[in-house]
Amino acid sequence: MAGLLRRRSQMPFAATLERERIQARPTWSALRPANPQPTSGVRMPPILEARDLTKVYALGKTTVEALRGVSMSVEPGEFVALMGPSGSGKSTLLQLLGGLDRPTTGSVVFEGRDISRLTDGQATRLRRERTGYIFQAFNLIPLLDVRENIALPFTIAGGPKDRKERVRQVIDLVELTGKERHRPDQLSAGEQQRVAVARALVTRPSILLADEPTGNLDYTNSGELLDALWRSCDQGGQTIVLVTHDARAAAYADRVLVIGDGRIQDEIVLGRREDHSAATLIARLAQVGL
Ligand SMILES: Nc1ncnc2c1ncn2[C@@H]1O[C@H](COP(=O)(O)OP(=O)(O)OP(=O)(O)O)[C@@H](O)[C@H]1O
Ligand SMILES: [Mg+2]
């Protein structure tokens, strides 16, 4: 299967579309209400904006300043990577962007609403309905099979009428068709993480936030996961913020923000490319000392 996936990811985009047309099946992009794609020259209002965020953790009698004034924005349909050394504040920032935690000062505006001011109940609903989150550890339920794990957000919150079809579509997107009845211990690490991606996408979130999703994966499995993320963005218009140490992963992004010492230190604009070569990014990262 790995060979097949690699071949598919190397196919020209038009050829991929043609293959999907021939399969005479509705594609992911046709079914998902897409975020508008970034269009050159036309600036969309940001879907997500962080304004002068600080985060101070209290640790006994000491404090840790994890973020020291971060401002950034993400446009609809954009794929943004956050890179930076260990402890620089990447996960802290992602948690604030996803409404999993509140900033000490500053605000996070998501789809025009300041989510740092929501009540706990409102924040929970927002996370459930509008955002998808992927962690480094896959967090799958061992006793549930692939389909049940993916449908979990619907089991918890009740789902739409077409939930079976949605589950089928995301299984197709992450290329796990045929493995629906496997439990997590009957899957490879890469397949498990692709289940986590499918679970995060099944609610059709406005934004997907992923924290080191390839951190536990080998080269091949990382590539397959990144290809799935890329398809959801490029074909389905999914907005993505990806935290990663890995330049190869960040090279899938339109734009890379480099975080150091709780601040955004640099911005590297790569643009939308079919070719995900990391060479340019690695050269730029070397210039900023990463
Ligand atoms: N809950 C917490 N309580 C206290 N300090 C914390 C907490 N979470 C994070 N920190 C501290 O905040 C700083 C930033 O942590 P964060 O997890 O955001 O870094 P990171 O860039 O994601 O690192 P890594 O690449 O290792 O995952 C670190 O110094 C960390 O020790
Ligand atoms: Mg982290």
Closest CA to 106 of 63, 160, 59, 66: 66
**CATH number of domain containing 60:** 3.40.50.300
Q: How far apart are CA 116 and CA 101, in angstroms?
A: 8
Whether 127 has a pLDDT exceeding 80, the answer reads yes
Residue 188 phi, psi (nearest 5): -75, 165
Whether 34 contacts 74, CB under 8 Å: no
Q: Which ligand is nearest to the CA of 135?
A: 2
Q: How confident is the model at residue 40 (pLDDT cuts 50, 70, 90)?
A: low
**Where is pLDDT greater, at 290 or 63?**
63
Distances (CA, A) of 45 to 73, 193, 195: 9, 32, 31
pTM: 0.86
Instruction: Tally the domains of the chain.
Output: 1
Q: Which pLDDT tens digit goes with each residue over 158-195?
A: 889 999 999 999 999 999 999 999 999 999 999 999 99
User: pLDDT tens for residues 83-94?
Assistant: 999 999 999 999
Side chain identity at residue 63, one-letter code: T
Percentage of the chain with pLDDT > 70?
Answer: 85
Is residue 1 domain-resident? no
Residues in the chain: 290
User: Ligand 1 pocket check: which of 88, 94, 245, 246 to mutate, most ligand atoms within 8 Å of Cβ?
Assistant: 88
> How many CB atoms neighbour CB 240 within 10 A?
23
Residue 2 lies in a domain: no
Q: Which domain holds residue 23?
A: 7-287
Three-class SS state of 175: coil
CA of 90 to the centre of ligand 1 (A): 8
Instruction: Give the per-residue pLDDT at 36.
Output: 52
- Residue 16 identity (one-letter amino acid): T
Mean pLDDT of the chain: 87
Indicate the pLDDT class of residue 41, thresholds 50, 70 and 90. Answer: low
